[in-house]
Homo-oligomer: A and B are copies of this chain.
């Protein structure tokens, strides 16, 4: 194994910044397990570790050796995991259609831990595409990659104008002008999710989840055809004001997939 150069350390470290990641079209994975998962989908630029990784014998990826100190310098996590992968992002991905599948749409989710957990949970419940508003956290942020626990290799995350995307997918522009695509969203004045008779079809459409503090933006809210509410238990008891957004996403997805 070639030892990593000072310039390479500096370069990898710079990928902790979104601006630099976007410019280079790269992202980092940390830890052996996560890095091996990323190899299943993404093309590696280099993989850096203290010791050779048995599972990478024969791999075409450039393998570089680094000391603990160098790995600490490059790591974006509080507890460096000893292995860092640098991967090329997919060049461009066509936006998915909600016509024959269930999509998840995120409207301004801010916390990287929440986003990563949502990607991991979406993977579990068979969501293969997540469409995010442009102000949602960056899925290539090392903390997000870490929290997905490898799920980023299976779930495609798109960034676009969410209002336009949902509007176009609802099918309102079709000849019949009927909006037939269900757009679900959790709203405080939504209908009890467990009793909602609209869910039975639940094989296609869009589920929208909103920002941690403010929920779904007014603009996107206007496109929701099926407002849902996760009832607290028992209904008349004083309780927390809301659920964490990753938790709410999981509860809704479980209800759709059960």
A residues neighboring B (CB under 8 Å): 113, 117, 120-121, 123-126, 149-151, 154, 194, 230, 232-234, 237-244, 246-247, 250-251, 254-255, 257-258
Contact B250 A124, beta carbon cutoff 8 Å: no
By DSSP majority rule, is chain A's interface helix, strand, loop, or mixed? loop
Contact B194 A239, beta carbon cutoff 8 Å: no
Query: Pick the contact of A254 from B126, B149, B240, B251 — CB < 8 Å?
Result: B251
**How many chain copies?**
2
CA of A154 to CA of B233, assembled, Å: 13
Q: Which residues of B contact A239 (CB under 8 A)?
A: 123-124, 126, 151, 154
Contact B243 A154, beta carbon cutoff 8 Å: no
Contact B154 A124, beta carbon cutoff 8 Å: no
CA of A239 to CA of B40, assembled, Å: 13
Contact B244 A230, beta carbon cutoff 8 Å: no
Q: Which residues of B contact A254 (CB under 8 A)?
A: 230, 251, 254-255
Q: Which residues of B contact A150 (CB under 8 A)?
A: 240-241
Query: Pick the contact of A243 from B120, B230, B240 — CB < 8 Å?
Result: B120
Minimum CB–CB distance for A199 against chain B, Å = 12
Contact B250 A243, beta carbon cutoff 8 Å: yes
Q: Which residues of B contact A194 (CB under 8 A)?
A: 258
CA of A119 to CA of B240, assembled, Å: 10
Minimum CB–CB distance for A25 against chain B, Å = 25
Q: A123-B239, A125-B232, A151-B239 are in contact. List 10 more A-B contacts (CB 8 A).
A: A113-B113, A117-B246, A120-B243, A120-B244, A120-B247, A124-B233, A150-B240, A154-B240, A230-B254, A246-B247
